[in-house]
């Protein structure tokens, strides 16, 4: 495991050298680089001798910092620090919230990003993912706790995170990204409606956009057949007329 300092916080990452573009995995909310999708992509990259980088946002996994001090914007900046850490073009793979950060990072580094893979991408979820009552709690109390179906610990959202999300919404008009993009979404996703991936596909400037719906797929898309689809999709993007580097 390696570490870099960003604004006084040690960010943990694993960088696997190899042929480019470098695959950069962006985890979901409160997730980390040890998840099954991130590890499977790293294992595939190692076997294919492809460059790959996975990391933990500040406050998550092995990285320093307090979770509740972080925002969508600070996690976007963590992703940009990782893109800046490696040389040459990158392909971003974003899971859930990581799909939102993937888009923000690509808009911030258009000269570096040459492909996108979204897995149950959840841009703008601070808008549609909370009820009016929950938004009022965030405004008035500064913090929201909800039971999690993925962890024994509750999911915590802070007012700072929510406000940063509202300030970085993208789904209100065209998204000026013209790189090959693949969006994978399970139609039994209880957290992010699969229709959002269809809307995102329509908003992206690129003509090379494909949306793949997994009829029996859930939000995590971590079953063996889901992982196999993700790897096939990643291989497709890496071969979609984008520059490769030794």
Q: Which residues, in sequence order, are CB contacts of 110 under 8 Å at separation 6+?
A: 177
Alpha-carbon distances of 46 from 136, 153, 204, rounded to whole Å: 47, 33, 31
Instruction: Name the catalytic one among 56, 78, 219, 226.
Output: 219
Catalytic status, residue 226: no
Instruction: Name the catalytic one among 96, 196, 197, 226.
Output: 96
Give the pLDDT confidence score for residue 93 in this predicted structure. 98
Give the pLDDT confidence score for residue 14 in this predicted structure. 98
What is the C-alpha to C-alpha distance for residues 229 and 238, in angstroms, rounded to an integer? 14
Summarised one tens digit per residue, pLDDT across range 67-84 is 999 999 999 999 999 999
Catalytic status, residue 185: no
Query: Architecture of domain 2-124+178-238 in CATH?
Result: 3-Layer(aba) Sandwich (3.40)
Instruction: Name the catalytic one among 77, 78, 124, 189.
Output: 189
Give the pLDDT confidence score for residue 152 in this predicted structure. 85
- CA Rg, the chain, in Å? 17
Per-residue tens of pLDDT for the chain, all 246 residues: 999 999 999 999 999 999 989 999 999 999 999 999 999 999 999 999 999 999 999 999 999 999 999 999 999 999 999 999 999 999 999 999 999 999 999 999 999 999 999 999 999 999 999 999 999 999 999 999 998 888 888 999 999 999 999 999 999 999 999 999 999 999 999 999 999 999 999 999 999 999 999 999 999 999 999 999 999 999 999 985 443 333
Q: What is the DSSP letter of 154?
A: P
Summarised one tens digit per residue, pLDDT across range 123-172 is 999 999 999 999 999 999 999 999 888 888 899 999 999 999 999 999 99
Which sign, positive or negative, has the C-alpha torsion 39, 45, 49, 55?
Answer: negative
Give the pLDDT confidence score for residue 240 in this predicted structure. 57
Q: Where along the chain do its domains lie?
A: 2-124+178-238
In 9-131, where does DSSP find H-type helix? Answer: 36-48, 72-85, 97-108, 125-128
- Please give the torsion angle defined by the CA atoms of residues 239, 231, 49 and 21, in that order, rounded to the nearest 10 degrees: 50
pTM: 0.94
């Amino acid at each position: 495991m390696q570490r870099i300092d960003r604004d006084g916080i040690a960010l943990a990452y694993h960088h696997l050298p190899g042929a480019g573009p470098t695959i950069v995995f962006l985890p979901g909310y409160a997730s980390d680089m040890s998840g099954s999708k991130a590890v499977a992509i790293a294992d595939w990259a190692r076997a294919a001798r492809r460059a790959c980088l996975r990391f933990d946002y500040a406050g998550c996994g092995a990285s320093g910092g307090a979770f509740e001090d972080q925002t969508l914007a600070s996690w976007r900046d963590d992703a940009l620090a990782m893109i800046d850490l490696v040389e040459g073009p990158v392909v971003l793979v974003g899971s859930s919230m990581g799909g939102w950060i993937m888009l923000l990072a690509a808009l911030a580094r258009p000269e570096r990003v040459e492909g996108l893979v979204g897995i149950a991408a959840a841009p703008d979820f601070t808008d549609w993912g909370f009820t009016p009552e929950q938004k009022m709690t965030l405004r008035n109390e500064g913090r929201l706790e909800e039971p999690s179906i993925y962890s024994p610990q509750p999911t915590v959202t802070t007012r700072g995170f929510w406000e940063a999300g509202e300030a970085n919404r993208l789904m209100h008009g065209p998204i000026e990204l013209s790189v090959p993009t693949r969006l994978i979404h399970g139609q039994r996703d209880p957290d992010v409606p699969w229709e959002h991936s269809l809307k995102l596909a329509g908003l992206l400037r690129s003509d090379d956009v494909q949306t793949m719906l997994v009829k029996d797929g859930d939000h995590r898309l971590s079953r063996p057949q889901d992982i196999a689809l993700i790897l096939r999709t990643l291989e497709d993007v890496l071969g979609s007329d984008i520059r490769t580097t030794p």
